[in-house]
Structure 1
Amino acid sequence: MKKFLLNVNRKEFIFITTLLIIIAIVATLPTGFQKQEYRYTEGVRAKVISVNNMGINGSGIYKLGDQSAIIEIETGSHKGEQIQANNLLTGRLSVDKIFQAGDKAWVLIGFDENNKINFANMIDHYRIDQELLLIGLFALVIILFSGFTGVRTLLSFAFALLSIWKILIPAMLNGYHPLFVALIVGNILTIVTLLLVAGFSKKAYAAIISATICSLATCLLAIVFGNIFNIHGAVLEGAESLLYAGFLNLDLTSILQAGIYLACAGAILDLAIDISSALEELVNNNPHIPKTALIKSGLNIGKSVVGTQTTTLLFAYLGSFITVMMVYVAQGTPLLNILNSKAIAAEILHTFVGCIGLVLVSPLTSFISGVMFAREIRRETG
């Protein structure tokens, strides 16, 4: 037994070390879509010293015009200089921002060949420090409450984020089939996440097998019902901007279907490891439990967990779509009109394809775990 534990520890050490190397490599990979900026420009952090709102024209809740400000540059080659900057307002609440004295701003400055600044545009409020604080708080909390498992979770989180940003998105932009790329990246993330959290154990293997099979099922359902619903991928926010940017070869509908799979992949692997872990605990406490009883226990556990997981999935989708629903309700739009709208139909597709995937993963994980643990029980009792 001691030798076995040492082998497991060695496996995990090699796995985590290899993953750290992969994360470092992926982090340095270029996306291939770096923005081509003008030669004499630089993005800098700046402190707003004072503002002049005389150029702003109000029209109801919207504001148009130009806000000017005196700023002090805090980073870059012109650090310490005070200059005038401009903040153009377009009347779009989702884009426009109003600065006040004391604010931190992200500013694009331009300068000539003599390094003299000739313009400064205030892009947005500077939020990097606050974002890093929140991320640091998350890391601290998860390590305090989960210990080394929390460190593994952070590794999984970093690997997932980098894989999506550096591999998945660039591959889609380069014209690779979105569903194919999403399946490869999604399943790799599933395997890595479950091995990090559960180690090289039977419960991890059972969860990986069931989550992978259910991911294929959700992709198939997304394709079939996406075609039945007659929903084009242009319903996604920002999809038309991609076309206008010159990516006319993109299959937006396949991107929509890939997004449906990715959106529910996390919930599927979560439920799979929940059930396999529960069944492992049953086997550890009752090594002589019959296979049929073990599978039945998994099904009973799954019934309870699936109910909360599907509701959680529904809350997640509704939460991101709440303002659209409020608009429909405020306008007194009939229910049939709402359900027939393309945007709502796309959310229904997202929600219920994901829910079906969750329902399928429960019995599948129970069966696979029952078979795997039953073999272990036979070896121990034999």
Structure 2
Amino acid sequence: MNVLVWLAAILFILMILIGGKKGARSFISLFLNFGVIFLTIFFMMDPNVNPIILTLIACTVISCINLFYINGVNSKTKTAFLSSMITIVILILFITIVTDKAMIQGFGEEEIDELSIFSLYVGMDFVKISASMIIMSTIGAITDVAISITSPMREIFNHNPLISRKDLFASGLNIGKDILGSNTNTLFFAFIGGYLALLLWFKDLSYTVGEIVNSKVFSAEVVIILCAGVGIAIVIPIASWINAYFLVRED
């Protein structure tokens, strides 16, 4: 416990020194987001609650925290929020279909021992639960990309107020191209790094490549990575177009 406190203190000090007040708000937002996720899981235990609707509400709150609380309420955060919400709605429809077709809902055979002492009749729709899990895994990346596009586009417009909507939209896309590759790789290494122990376990169990690829646990992680990449790719043109539309008033 002391190690966790020291790590949190070091992170807080560094964020204050580097980010100032915004760094302090960013640190506080970590705990606020954790609280939102905890409440989402708590309410999701109720079989009468639709996990997709609950996830959409949670993503809205998390987006407000990440955008408005940290960066303030202004034109760039408003357009980033709107872009994120549109992307999340599209992604929810897409992920629900993918989760059902890929059959990654529920638990894999690697988890049988842990589940043997629990009742499997939990009364939950695991297709929606899996979709909710993927959405919650991608919301941070989506809001990050959205504000990373709308903020420099705002600076471009401030330095060149006579820029056309088409040129500003093209500038947003060019910014997004640089963000797309780096963020996709960041998500890939974040998820694979978190499941490195699982891959080592597969090796110790003498799993073949085919067994690893067809494992439900492994497939679920790959689906999360790919869906997160899809979300990042979708939010780039949406954020660029919405920001260009609201910034440039053409008659």
Deviation of 1:132 after TM superposition, in Å, equals: 1.6
Provide the C-alpha distance between the structure 2 equivalents of 1:227 and 1:209, rounded to a whole number of angstroms.
28
- In structure 2, the partner of 1:173 is 45
Which residues of structure 2 form unaligned runs of 5+? none
Distance 1:335 1:347, change over 3 A: same
Deviation of 1:332 after TM superposition, in Å, equals: 5.8
Task: Give deviations 1:82-111, integer Å, cap 9, x for gaps.
Answer: xxxxxxxxxxxxxxxxxxxxxxxxxxxxxx
Which has the bigger relative contact order, CA under 8 A and spacing at least 6? Answer: 2
Provide the C-alpha distance between the structure 2 equivalents of 1:226 and 1:208, rounded to a whole number of angstroms.
26
Q: CA RMSD in A?
A: 2.4
Question: Quick one: which of 78, 81, 89 aligns to 1:205?
Answer: 78
What secondary structure is seen at the aligned counterpart in 2 of 1:363? helix
Deviation of 1:245 after TM superposition, in Å, equals: 6.0
> TM-score, normalising length from structure 1?
0.61
Distance 1:258 1:152, change over 3 A: same
Provide the C-alpha distance between the structure 2 equivalents of 1:205 and 1:266, rounded to a whole number of angstroms.
16
- In structure 1, the partner of 2:28 is 155
Greater C-alpha Rg? 1
Provide the C-alpha distance between the structure 2 equivalents of 1:240 and 1:269, rounded to a whole number of angstroms.
35
What secondary structure is seen at the aligned counterpart in 2 of 1:289? coil
Task: Give deviations 1:242-273, integer Å, cap 9, x for gaps.
Answer: 98168722333322211100001100000000
- In structure 1, the partner of 2:151 is 277
Q: Determine whether 1:310 maps to 2:184.
A: yes
> TM-score, normalising length from structure 2?
0.90
Report matched runs for 1:122-161 at 5 Å: 127=1, 129-161=2-34
- In structure 2, the partner of 1:288 is 162
Deviation of 1:327 after TM superposition, in Å, equals: 3.7
What secondary structure is seen at the aligned counterpart in 2 of 1:233? coil
Q: Which has the higher strand share?
A: 1
Mapped contact 1:173–1:247 kept (Cα < 8 A): no
Provide the C-alpha distance between the structure 2 equivalents of 1:334 and 1:137, rounded to a whole number of angstroms.
43
Question: Quick one: which of 179, 187, 193 aligns to 2:60?
Answer: 187
Deviation of 1:154 after TM superposition, in Å, equals: 2.4
Deviation of 1:238 after TM superposition, in Å, equals: 9.9
Distance 1:317 1:298, change over 3 A: same
Question: Quick one: which of 215, 218, 241 aligns to 1:344?
Answer: 218
Deviation of 1:225 after TM superposition, in Å, equals: 0.9
Mapped contact 1:194–1:273 kept (Cα < 8 A): yes
Distance 1:371 1:138, change over 3 A: same
Q: Which has the higher helix share?
A: 2
Number of matched pairs:
249
Report matched runs for 1:195-274 at 5 Å: 195-235=68-108, 241=115, 244=118, 248-274=122-148
Mapped contact 1:234–1:253 kept (Cα < 8 A): no
Mapped contact 1:291–1:370 kept (Cα < 8 A): yes
Mapped contact 1:239–1:252 kept (Cα < 8 A): no
Provide the C-alpha distance between the structure 1 equivalents of 2:53 and 2:31, rounded to a whole number of angstroms.
22
Distance 1:250 1:243, change over 3 A: farther
Deviation of 1:299 after TM superposition, in Å, equals: 0.4
Mapped contact 1:210–1:365 kept (Cα < 8 A): yes
Provide the C-alpha distance between the structure 2 equivalents of 1:257 and 1:296, rounded to a whole number of angstroms.
32
Mapped contact 1:234–1:240 kept (Cα < 8 A): no
> Which amino acid letter does the alignment assign opposite residue 56 of structure 2?
L
- In structure 1, the partner of 2:193 is 319
